[in-house]
Each structure stands twice: as C-alpha cells, then as structure tokens.
C-alpha cells in the first residue's frame, strides 16, 4: 500500500541519516585518535611452507572509547578521504619498526614485516622521503619490510607509480600486490610494474575444494606468477584442504585463520611458537 511504501522510504532515509551521522562522527574522532593512542597494530603471521620461516603483516585497529573496535575496512576509507591516511600511515610504519626491533631483541632475527599502504600514500611525492626518514630514525633496515599495495592503487596513476616503486625497491623494500586478481586489469600490468610478489585474494582461496573451476583459476594464477618470477602468497587460508592444495601447486607462502588470526603484539611469542610447531 501507499502507506507502507511511504514508511519504508522514511525508514530508509532514517537509515541513511544514521550512516551519515556515524561517518561524520568517525571523521571527527579519527582526528584525535592518534593523539589519544586509540590506534594499535595487530599482527598476523604468514608462513613460508618450504623454508619454514615466518613473516608478519601489520593490521591497524581502532579502539574507539564509546563505539568499541572499529574495523579498518570502515575507517581507512574515511582516513583516505580526509587525508588523515598520511599521518596514520606514518604511525603504522614507525610502530611496526619498533615492534620488529623488539622481536629481533627477543631472538626472532629474520622475521620480515609487511605493512599496507593505500593509494593515497603512493600518490604522495614525499612517500620515499617519509619512508626513508622513518627507517633512519628508527634505525631499521628497509630490507626487512614488505609494502603491500592493492592493484587499484597502482593502476590509478601507473606512470607516476612506477618510479616510486623502483626507488622503494632500490632501498631494499619488497613490493607485493595485495588482493591480487580482483581487478579486471590484473594480468595487464604484471609485466609493467617492478613488483616482487603477489598476494592472491581470499575470494579465490575460498573456492578451493569448493568448485573445480575455482581451483583451476588458483592453479593458473600461481603458475603464471611463477613464470614471471613472482613470489606467491595466499591470503585467507582457513582449511587443511586449502593448505594441501596450495602446497601441491607450489604456493610459497600462506596466511589465514588456519595458522592464526591477527593478534596484539604481546601475544606474538606464543603465536609464533604455535605456528612453528604446525
Ligand atoms: P587486507 O590487507 O587484505 O588484510 C586481510 C584482511 O583479512 C584482514 O582484515 C585480516 O584480519 C583478514 N583475514 C586474514 N586471514 C583471514 C582468514 O583466514 N579468513 C578471513 N575471513 N579473513 C581473514 P582487517 O584486519 O579487518 O583489515 C581489512 C583491510 O583494511 C586490509 O585488508 C587492508 O586493506 C586494510 N588495512 C588494514 N591495516 C591497514 C593499514 O595499516 N594501512 C592501510 N592503508 N590499510 C590497512
Ligand atoms: Ca594486506
Ligand atoms: Ca589482502
Ligand atoms: Ca583481501
């Protein structure tokens, strides 16, 4: 009925209003979250199956005083829109350097550390200077670091991104393409960008043991990446079946709940021991 339709529209408008109000609130609160030390890093292991070595990915968390834990999937886009991503990105890299140093002091000498960089950071002309400054002041070697960037990030301004990637690589940083395979142009840029590794998106890994075509696609991605001398990581690995399939296809590195969820720094020693025992 007309009444029903009208009230549904009103409901929808109220819903949109809520989303809008929350977004404005997050925008404002994010400004001070860094100063109030509400951001923290969780770490998720990545396991190199053939070498038996472990690396880590730093994943940012926001513990909001009233709203609780807010997912980076929700606040990173806001940080990008408001340009706060630059401050957050610097903070993430610095904190990751400090935590890595603590791990080294605790005897984990050759752990590599991956951080996520958003497109906005890559289009910043100052990126190389900022990054060099952080590594210098934290007295950390860039060669311990992997920068994970999404394909959409590098596709935005390919001509500008290539020299930036080259400079970062010259400093010893490993460049990995995150969420690999999601964009329509994945195959198109593989030979155009100076990259070292690809991280196959979880949406593909999910299909392993689920459907034949899905498996074929993963097999093809691994095989193509190897022909291009790229290191392959699989993200979102949750089952033993997936581990077996990926091992058999020669995937070098795996990450996902099967091994460990992302954990706060304090829990890392226990998690690293657990993963090493698998
Ligand atoms: P991502 O880089 O693709 O990270 C993987 C996401 O999948 C993480 O979510 C992780 O917790 C989750 N995950 C890992 N293993 C599994 C699994 O086996 N199953 C399932 N279902 N999920 C798994 P999270 O931590 O919520 O991060 C979401 C996204 O936020 C990240 O996706 C990344 O794009 C972004 N992000 C996180 N930290 C940062 C950061 O410091 N800077 C930037 N620019 N972006 C970040
Ligand atoms: Ca990532
Ligand atoms: Ca990813
Ligand atoms: Ca993903």
- pLDDT digit string (tens) for 154-166? 888 888 889 999 9
Question: What ipTM was reported for this prediction?
Answer: 0.97
> How many Å lie between the centroid of ligand 1 and the Cα of residue 59?
6
Q: Is 201 in the pocket of ligand 1 (CB under 6 A)?
A: no
Residue 7 beta carbon below 6 angstroms from any ligand 1 atom: no
Evaluate: CB of 140 within 6 angstroms of ligand 1: no
The DSSP 8-state label assigned to residue 267 in this structure reads G
The rounded Å distance from CA 107 to ligand 2 centre is 25
Integer CA distances (angstroms), 107 to 100, 110, 220, 255, 263, in order:
11, 9, 38, 22, 19
Q: Which whole number is the average pLDDT over 235-256?
A: 97
Q: What is the mean pLDDT of residues 87-102?
A: 97
Indicate if ligand 1 lies below 6 Å from the C-beta of 181. Answer: no
Mean pLDDT of the chain: 92
User: CB–CB of 101/141 below 8 Å?
Assistant: no
Task: Tell me the ligand closest to 256's alpha carbon.
Answer: 1
Does the Cβ of 118 fall within 6 Å of ligand 1? yes
Nearest CA to ligand 1 atom 11: 262
Instruction: Give the separation between CA 169 and CA 16, rounded to whole angstroms.
Output: 44
Residues with CB under 5 A from ligand 4 (ion): 179, 201-202
Span 205-234, pLDDT tens digits: 999 987 888 899 999 999 999 999 999 999
Contact 88, 78 (CB under 8 A): no
In total, the chain counts a number of residues equal to: 278
| Residue 138 DSSP SS3 | coil
User: What is the chain's Cα-based Rg?
Assistant: 20
What angle (nearest 5°) sits at the alpha carbon of residue 236, between those of residues 230 and 238?
Answer: 125
Q: Burial letters for 100-126: b for 16+ Cβ neighbours within 10 Å, e otherwise?
A: beebeeeeeeebbbbbbbbbbbbebee
Nearest residue (by CA) to ligand 1, atom 4, is: 59
Residue 104 structure tokens: 């080294």
The pTM (predicted TM-score) of the whole model is 0.94
């Amino acid at each position: 009925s007309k009444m029903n339709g009208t009230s549904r529209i009103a409901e929808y408008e109220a819903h949109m209003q809520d989303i809008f109000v929350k977004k404005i609130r997050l925008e404002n609160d994010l400004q001070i979250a860094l100063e109030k030390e509400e951001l923290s890093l969780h770490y998720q292991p990545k396991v190199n199956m053939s070498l038996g070595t472990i690396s880590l990915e730093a994943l940012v968390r926001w513990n909001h005083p009233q709203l609780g834990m807010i997912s980076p999937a929700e606040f990173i886009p806001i940080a990008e829109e408001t340009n706060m991503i630059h401050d957050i990105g610097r903070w993430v890299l610095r904190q990751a350097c400090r935590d890595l140093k603590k791990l080294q002091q605790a005897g984990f000498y050759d752990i590599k550390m991956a951080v996520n960089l958003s497109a906005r950071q890559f289009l910043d002309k100052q990126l190389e200077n900022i990054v060099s400054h952080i590594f210098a002041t934290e007295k950390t070697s860039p060669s311990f670091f992997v920068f994970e960037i999404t394909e959409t990030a590098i596709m935005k301004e390919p001509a500008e991104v290539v020299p930036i990637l080259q400079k970062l690589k010259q400093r010893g940083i490993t460049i990995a393409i995150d969420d690999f395979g999601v964009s329509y142009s994945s195959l198109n840029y593989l030979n155009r960008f100076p990259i070292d590794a690809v991280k196959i998106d979880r949406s593909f890994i999910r299909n392993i043991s689920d459907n034949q075509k899905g498996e074929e696609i993963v097999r093809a991605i691994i095989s193509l990446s190897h022909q291009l001398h790229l290191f392959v990581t699989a993200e979102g690995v949750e089952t033993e079946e997936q581990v077996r399939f990926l091992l058999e296809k020669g995937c070098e590195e795996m990450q996902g709940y099967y091994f460990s969820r992302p954990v706060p720094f304090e829990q890392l020693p226990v998690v690293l021991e657990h993963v090493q025992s698998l």
